């Protein structure tokens, strides 16, 4: 076997191992988050948009920081933009094709506006061709506002739950169950991190072997690879009928990807924004962001027809960025 064929076989093995680890990680993550939501008295939408969303954003953070420090900052930017588009087009689209999902009004009123703010802020700040440390600071300020809002809502929700029903002091079994749930979350996060790393290495190696560009790699294999945790978590939630987790996970991930991941990356190293990103990727991000909101507002759900539209839109985007 030639050295080239051996390299391709190794990269393929990494891809398969990454997919398996991502699936198992998403299963453990959703399981732990679901039980914590019940144990802590929090609504599923809040847990989906915080714990699950932030945990599944970890691969994007890893890829962006690693690429910015040791490879290319615009590769990390492409991965984030591509991941957000994939979250809407593929993750929500495929989840809706499996199981139509109702959209809670609280998600639309409280969380979706932050997703829109993050997308618009990224486009406005990046129109000059770079994301500076100041731009990163602005994104982190938005992150601070979003986190503060979530904490306020979480406390209010917990207080409402306690006010509605008197809750006895937790016994040892309840404490043990919550500790087990936290272990599930930790295991899921670890598997997501390792699985994403393997998938990214394998996919990147395969594409580079066939001569694809850095931008294409960032927008496709890295974006899809880092979106697999969201896809796995959302599909599992959709199958279980936990629509609020699926939608909250995507909305929260898209917020964290921009304001947390790109905010941190821009502070660490200036991020170059290529002309092709300004002319095509930014408009595509806005189209997907406002498009999915329009679909949600139509009947306060994401139907199978909507899912087909989203997946079809992603395929069009993929065709547009082909070299």
> pLDDT confidence of 48, banded at 50, 70, 90?
low
Q: Which stretches does DSSP call E strand in 84-183?
A: 101-102, 130-131
pLDDT of residue 53: 60
pLDDT (tens digit, 9 = 90+) per residue, 266-312?
Answer: 998 888 898 989 999 999 999 999 999 999 998 888 889 999 999 99
Q: Cα 303 from chain centroid?
A: 21
**Stretch 106-129: mean pLDDT:** 91
Q: 3-158+179-321 — its CATH code?
A: 1.20.1420.30
Domain boundaries along the sequence of the chain: 3-158+179-321
Q: Which of 29-38, 45-54, 174-183, 299-308 has the lowest mean pLDDT?
A: 45-54
Integer Cα distance of 97 and 94 in angstroms? 5
pLDDT of residue 20: 80
pLDDT of residue 40: 62
Paired tokens of 277: 């990103």
Paired tokens of 4: 């080239």
Assess whether pLDDT exceeds 60 at residue 163. Answer: no
């Amino acid at each position: 076997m030639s050295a080239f064929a051996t390299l391709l076989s190794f990269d393929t093995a990494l891809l398969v191992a990454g997919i398996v680890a991502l699936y198992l990680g998403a299963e453990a993550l959703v399981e732990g988050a679901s039980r914590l939501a019940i144990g802590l008295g929090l609504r599923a939408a809040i847990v989906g948009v915080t714990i699950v969303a932030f945990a599944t954003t970890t691969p994007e953070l890893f890829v962006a920081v690693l690429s910015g420090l040791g490879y290319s900052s615009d590769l990390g930017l492409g991965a984030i933009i591509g991941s957000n588009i994939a979250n809407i087009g593929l993750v929500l689209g495929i989840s809706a094709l499996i199981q139509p999902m109702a959209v809670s009004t609280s998600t639309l009123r409280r969380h979706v506006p932050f997703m829109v703010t993050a997308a618009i802020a990224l486009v406005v700040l990046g129109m000059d061709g770079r994301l500076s440390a100041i731009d990163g600071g602005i994104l982190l300020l938005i992150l601070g506002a979003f986190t503060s809002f979530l904490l306020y809502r979480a406390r209010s929700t917990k207080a409402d739950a306690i006010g509605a029903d008197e809750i006895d002091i937790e016994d040892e079994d309840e404490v043990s169950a919550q500790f087990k749930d936290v272990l599930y979350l930790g295991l899921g996060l670890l598997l997501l991190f390792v699985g994403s790393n393997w998938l990214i290495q394998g996919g990147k190696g395969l594409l580079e072997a066939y001569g694809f560009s850095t931008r294409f790699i960032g927008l496709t294999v890295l974006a899809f690879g880092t979106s697999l945790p969201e896809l796995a978590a959302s599909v599992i939630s959709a199958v279980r009928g936990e629509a609020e987790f699926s939608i909250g996970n995507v909305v929260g991930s898209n917020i964290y990807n921009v304001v947390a991941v790109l905010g941190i990356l821009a502070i660490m190293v200036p991020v170059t924004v290529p002309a092709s990103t300004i002319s095509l990727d930014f408009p595509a991000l806005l189209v997907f962001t406002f498009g999915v909101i329009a679909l949600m507002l139509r009947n306060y759900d994401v139907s199978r027809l909507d899912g087909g539209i989203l997946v079809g839109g992603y395929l069009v985007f993929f065709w547009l960025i082909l070299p």
